[in-house]
Amino acid sequence: MTASTATQDVYFFCTCLVDLFVPEAGLDAVTLLEKSGVRVHFPEEQTCCGQPAYTSGQPDEARAVARQQLGLFPKPWPIILPSGSCAGMMRHHYPTLFAGTPDLARAESVASRVWELSEFLVDVLGVRLTDYGVPTRVALHTSCSARRETNALRTTRALLGQLDQVTLEIQDHESECCGFGGMFSVRHPEISGGIVRDKVAAIRACGAETLITGDCGCMLNITGHAAKTGTAITGKHLASFLLERALGLEALTKKGGAK
Amino acid sequence: MSQPLNFVPVAEFRERARSVVANPDLQKSLRGAMDFLQAKRSAQFPDDAEFQRLRDLGEAIRQYSLSRLPELLEVLEAKLTENGIQVHWAETPEQANTIFIDIAQRHNARSVIKGKSMVSEEVELNHALQEAGIDALESDMGEYIVQLADEKPSHIIMPAIHKTKVEIAELFAERIPGVDYTDSVDELIQIGRKVLREKFAAADIGVSGVNFMVAETGTLCLVENEGNGRMSTTVPRVHVAITGIEKVVEKLAHVPPLLSLLTRSATGQAVTTYVNMISSPRKVDEADGPDAVHLILLDNGRTQAYADEQLRSTLQCIRCGACMNHCPVYTRIGGHAYGTTYPGPIGKIISPHLLGLDSTYGLATASTLCGACAEVCPVRIPIPDLLIRLRTEAYSNPATASEAVRGAGSAYSSVAMALWHAWAATYRYPALYRLFTWCASRFRFLTPGKQGGWTVNHRAMQPARRRFRDQLKDRA
Ligand code: SF4
């Protein structure tokens, strides 16, 4: 793995979902960044970006939680998130959420420094990966926020494209939402279930061995539905997949399981 | 016709949605129809940069028009009146119907032929006419099918998109006297045409919707493919157009970009077969056209949306239907499940103004906020942002709720609010957050196996053995 820039400091915002449910994705993201020559700082006081409350129509609660994050990044370093959806929240919605409050300037400063992991790897670090893995076929699901609020679709595909033993299979209706939508999946299971059912079927049908995604919300939605219905889909966060391919160290990522 | 659809209980919305999602045939036909419409649209916009430029223009025209709405409506009224078109203002659906029936009675009308008009659906005109003893027949093929089946449109552009060919064939054989079963599409269309042609000649009043109203010239623009719109507005001796107050633009030059966006977004056509421009009744030296033209302008909650800077963008809509064609929720539940005149994403953002948030907030929450709608909307309505706003209004405390939307605060529950308070109280204090997540992970074996709506479709979520932050420390 090579990167074009000299040592650089970055903040890592792991997201609450990774912290509690998919820690290996966070660890692999940190390892990836470090192997790319970046010094990673993890502000211990971080909790959640506030998105669950924001999208549920609770802006006061969202603001209270989001405000806590604003003070965590005093140095002008980039802030890297292993999630397109939380990155979209901080980049696009923080300025709206804090509009007209004394915290707006801090919110804008954070928003302007936020990077989804793959964006940073490709557009800033310009990483070049060497594939040490055996030939495999994967499907990629890009979350709607990642697709529409970041450049992660392009950069994630670029990273997978560097792995010459990996074939990207495009599932039917690839660009369609997986039906997660945070609280939507809990509040409207009758609709959410119909959407994720089709997503699981499309991924199964495309012949991929692994489902790759940069968003743990979508991953837990898709693999959680697959598990409930007895469909075999292995989901991996992009960071974990890249790491095991590029370092040829599959065993390393098998520790500390979630799910 | 069924009872007016002005109340949409949230629980029934769920039940309707559930039954459609569980019906494999409906799922297949909905998906097929949406795929077809998506493909047609995308073929019209091969160059994304061109599409973005055109929608910039469309958005700007609609925003400009709305910024001058009161003034443009005055100019429009004056110009239309000068042209001999009689203008009527209706604040509510009831008023619109009263005005219509009054016009009908003045003209001794006993039968009405209708071109496609979603606003007439919104006010349930057919229902009101029936009660007044006036015969109303839909002349748009899709509307005709829906009327024959005693149903409501399930899509704003394709009213009968929920019906399969075989269902239509059976319907025609059963309900049209003297018609034998055929499932040849051509023959079905011919049968429908024949029935309708006869009715055009006999109808006293023709009804239409309006796509754009031009203030400066006093022109009503009507876009259609079947020619029934032209027939409805020219053959009967009276033409009554009905539409919402937001459809006005200032100049004729504002129409072509909107028209191009509308037809390409709606049906994937560069232009429709008919574009009607109606500027007056028949003049003395003209051979045909109606003797009288009326326009009913409906408010029905639109001024409420207009009054709020953010919600005003709802009125930019040109009713192309692209948002529903691209919506993963609409694709799963179809149009009828919503229970409102306008289904899909546009229905979720406009219905609270028409019907009140108390009966419609369940629609605002029924979205993943994926943004597919906003991506295709030809006038750039930020639909997901509006949904978040409507959720905020619905869940706000009624004691302090804003007055921007009727029914604000109706989804408020003190239990849910207490949970959000608890969540925020935990997540805003890092020490509490750490304690909470530490416990969740340490006592993960206590995680409930049933997790509300989540475990309806998923295996239960279980926290990891050790949190990310603990594992990060280990490896340092
Ligand atoms: S909201 Fe936009 S996409 Fe939906 S019908 Fe209106 S103009 Fe078309």
**Tens digit of each residue's pLDDT (9 = 90 or more) over A173-190:** 999 999 999 999 999 999
**Mean pLDDT, rounded, for B185-207:** 90
Cβ(A220)–Cβ(A22) below 8 Å? yes
CA distance B403 to B308: 10
Domain ranges for chain B: 68-303, 416-475
A2, β-bridge pairs: A128
Q: For B275-293, write each residue's pLDDT tens digit.
A: 999 999 999 999 889 999 9
The CATH class of the B68-303 domain is alpha beta
CA distance B126 to B354: 18
Ligand 1 lined by B374 (C-beta under 6 Å): no
At residue B323, the 3 state secondary structure works out as helix
Mutate to test the interface with A, among B392, B457, B461, B474 (most CBs of A within 10 A): B457
Phi, psi of B104, deg, nearest 5: -60, -45
CA distance B117 to B229: 10
Distances (CA, A) of B160 to B30, B135, B152, B155: 11, 21, 9, 7
Cβ contact, residue pair B427, A48, below 8 Å: yes
The upper half-sphere exposure of residue A1, i.e. CA atoms within 13 Å in the direction of its Cβ, equals: 21
Cβ(B447)–Cβ(B462) below 8 Å? yes
CA distance A170 to A159: 16
A220 to chain B, any CB pair closer than 8 A? The answer is yes
pLDDT at A137: 97
Residue of B nearest to A252 (CA): B475
CA distance B412 to A221: 28
Q: For B427-468, write each residue's pLDDT tens digit.
A: 999 999 999 999 999 999 999 999 999 999 999 999 999 999
At residue B420, the 3 state secondary structure works out as helix
Phi, psi of A114, deg, nearest 5: -80, 135
Confidence of residue A1 (pLDDT cuts 50, 70, 90): low
Ligand 1 lined by B322 (C-beta under 6 Å): yes
Helix (H) or strand (E) holding B137: strand B135-138
Cβ(B352)–Cβ(B366) below 8 Å? no
Residue B211 has pLDDT above 60, yes or no: yes
* Structure-token match 């909650």, residue found: B301
Cβ contact, residue pair A177, B370, below 8 Å: yes
Cβ(B401)–Cβ(B408) below 8 Å? yes
Phi, psi of B53, deg, nearest 5: -65, -45
CA distance B86 to B294: 5
CA distance B395 to A57: 7
**Mean pLDDT, rounded, for A4-9:** 69
Residue B403 has pLDDT above 50, yes or no: yes
A30 to chain B, any CB pair closer than 8 A? The answer is yes
Q: What are the residue ranges of helices labelled H in B176-220?
A: 185-202
Inter-chain contacts counted by CB atoms under 8 A, chains A and B: 192
pLDDT at A253: 38
At residue B88, the 3 state secondary structure works out as strand
Residue B64 has pLDDT above 50, yes or no: yes
CA distance B26 to B22: 9
Residues near B411 by Cβ (< 8 Å), separated by ≥ 6? B357, B361, B394, B395
Confidence of residue B42 (pLDDT cuts 50, 70, 90): very high
Q: What Rg do the C-alpha atoms of chain B give, in angstroms?
A: 25
Phi, psi of A168, deg, nearest 5: -90, 120
Confidence of residue B7 (pLDDT cuts 50, 70, 90): low
CA distance B94 to A120: 58
Cβ(B345)–Cβ(B330) below 8 Å? yes
**Mean pLDDT, rounded, for B125-138:** 95
- Encoded tokens for B214: 């031009």
Name which of A147, A11, A154, A13 is nearest A81 in CA terms.
A13
**With a CB-CB cutoff of 8 Å, which residues 396-415 of chain B face chain A?**
396
- How far is B60 from chain A, CA to nearest CA, in Å? 22
Residue B402 has pLDDT above 50, yes or no: yes
Name which of A35, A9, A12, A18 is nearest A243 in CA terms.
A35
Residue A28 has pLDDT above 70, yes or no: yes
pLDDT at B116: 92
For a pLDDT cut of 90, what percent of chain B falls above it? 91
Residues near B454 by Cβ (< 8 Å), separated by ≥ 6? A185, A186, A189, A224, B460, B461
CA triple A220-A224-A225, angle to 5 deg:
125
Ligand 1 lined by B378 (C-beta under 6 Å): yes
pLDDT at B193: 87
Q: What Rg do the C-alpha atoms of chain A give, in angstroms?
A: 18
Q: For B140-189, write each residue's pLDDT tens digit.
A: 999 999 999 999 999 999 999 999 889 999 999 999 998 999 989 999 99
**Mean pLDDT, rounded, for A27-41:** 95
Report the b/e string of B249-271 with b at 16+ CB within 10 A.
bbeeebbebbbbbbbbbbbbbee
CA distance B286 to B275: 20
Name which of A150, A217, A151 is nearest A179 in CA terms.
A217
B370, β-bridge pairs: none
pLDDT at B287: 87
**What's the whole-number average pLDDT of chain A?**
92
Overall fold of domain A136-247 = Rossmann fold (3.40.50)
Cβ contact, residue pair B464, A20, below 8 Å: yes
**What's the whole-number average pLDDT of chain B?**
94
Q: For A186-234, write each residue's pLDDT tens digit.
A: 999 999 999 999 999 999 999 999 999 999 999 999 999 999 999 989 9
Domain ranges for chain A: 8-124, 136-247
Cβ contact, residue pair B368, A44, below 8 Å: no
CA distance B34 to A50: 34
**Mean pLDDT, rounded, for A80-104:** 97
What's the whole-model pTM score?
A: 0.95
Quick one: DSSP state of residue B246?
G
Confidence of residue A251 (pLDDT cuts 50, 70, 90): very low
Confidence of residue B414 (pLDDT cuts 50, 70, 90): very high
Identity of the residue in B328, B423, B453 whose CB atom sits nearest the CB atom of A195: B328
pLDDT at A246: 85
CA distance B242 to B225: 19
Ligand 1 lined by B145 (C-beta under 6 Å): no
User: Greatest CA separation found in chain A?
Assistant: 54
**Mean pLDDT, rounded, for A128-150:** 95
Report the b/e string of B368-393 with b at 16+ CB within 10 A.
bbbbbbbbbbbbbbbbbbbbbbbbbb
pLDDT at A2: 52
